[in-house]
């Protein structure tokens, strides 16, 4: 049996434009590829210029539409400019993937005030700032989808990660609040909660903790599905939330962790 064209249309993002933060590497970069494969034009936001330009070239080489836009999500001016530039280039904004993150593996006694501020500014303030800029354009487009990156630690605590757990817990409840606020505009707001995914961020956590990388990654794989996640695992969940497959889903979270929280 051939694929029903109506099903293909449900998953397609053709004619739509998306903004992805933290797009230079890891989950952000993998998701940018996936959304571009689904037909979206993608604005790639990051402070990593080299990685961002590389991601842009990779997507364009595969036939997609992409633009790297340097953006520090802690800056209101950067966020305003990045959204405006995306709309200028692609004519609209339909999807916002708030993914930029930082993991500082310290408890409250070891964590400095500046590290606390950095964590919450990147992972909470950044979502607020970009959502504030994106929503008016989504209203103009007749609706949209905002996807925030939470974590398994949005739902439970973890060791030596007090600022990360605080920020990711906030991301989940902010998602719910925004879903209530913007549902009347047909803007859906959802949260994807990954477990351990093989990214530079995860391996950076290993280095911070001073652990043996092989043992660290083996422990990360100790879950029912017996493996560490891939960026594609998370990207597929984001595509679900971005597409019409989830047209009646808002204020929800989807745990993508190989059963780690089961």
Residues forming the active site:
164
The first and second tokens of residue 117, run together, are 């501020």
Buried b (16+ CB within 10 A) or exposed e, 143-154: ebbbbbbbbbbb
DSSP 8-state assignment for residue 243: S
From the list 57, 139, 45, the residue with the least C-alpha distance to 92 is 139
Q: How far apart are CA 195 and CA 18, in angstroms?
A: 24
The DSSP letter of residue 143 is -
Q: Distance between CA atoms of 66 and 239, rounded to whole angstroms? A: 17
SS3 label, residue 229: strand
CA–CA distance, 108 with 165 (Å, rounded to integer): 11
Name the nearest CA neighbour of 167 among 150, 181, 179, 152.
150
Among 91, 87, 47, CA closest to 69 = 47
The counts of H helices and E strands in the chain are: 10, 7
What is the distance between the alpha carbons of residues 15 and 113, in angstroms, rounded to a whole number?
44
How far from chain centre, in Å, is Cα 182? 19
């Amino acid at each position: 049996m051939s694929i029903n064209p109506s099903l293909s249309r449900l998953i397609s993002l053709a004619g739509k434009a998306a903004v992805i933060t933290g797009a230079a590497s890891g989950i952000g970069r993998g998701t940018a590829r996936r959304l571009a494969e689904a037909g979206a034009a993608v604005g790639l936001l990051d402070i990593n210029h080299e990685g961002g330009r590389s991601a842009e070239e990779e997507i364009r080489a595969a036939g997609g539409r992409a633009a790297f836009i340097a953006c520090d999500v802690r800056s209101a001016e950067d966020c305003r400019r990045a959204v405006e530039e995306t709309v200028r280039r692609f004519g609209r904004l339909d999807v916002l993937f708030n993914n930029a993150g930082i993991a500082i593996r310290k408890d409250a006694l070891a964590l400095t005030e500046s590290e606390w501020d950095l964590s919450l500014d990147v992972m909470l303030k950044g979502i607020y700032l970009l959502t504030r800029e994106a929503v008016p354009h989504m209203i103009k487009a007749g609706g949209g989808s905002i996807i925030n990156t939470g974590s398994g630690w949005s739902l439970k605590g973890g060791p030596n990660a007090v600022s990360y757990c605080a920020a990711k817990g906030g991301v989940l409840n902010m998602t719910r609040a925004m879903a209530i606020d913007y549902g009347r505009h047909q803007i859906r707001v959802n949260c994807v909660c990954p477990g351990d995914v093989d990214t530079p961020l995860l391996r950076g956590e290993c280095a911070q903790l001073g652990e043996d990388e092989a043992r660290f990654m083996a422990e990360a794989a100790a879950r029912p599905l017996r493996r560490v996640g891939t960026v594609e695992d998370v990207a597929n969940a984001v595509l679900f939330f971005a597409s019409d497959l989830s047209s009646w889903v808002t204020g929800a979270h989807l745990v993508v962790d190989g059963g780690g929280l089961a």
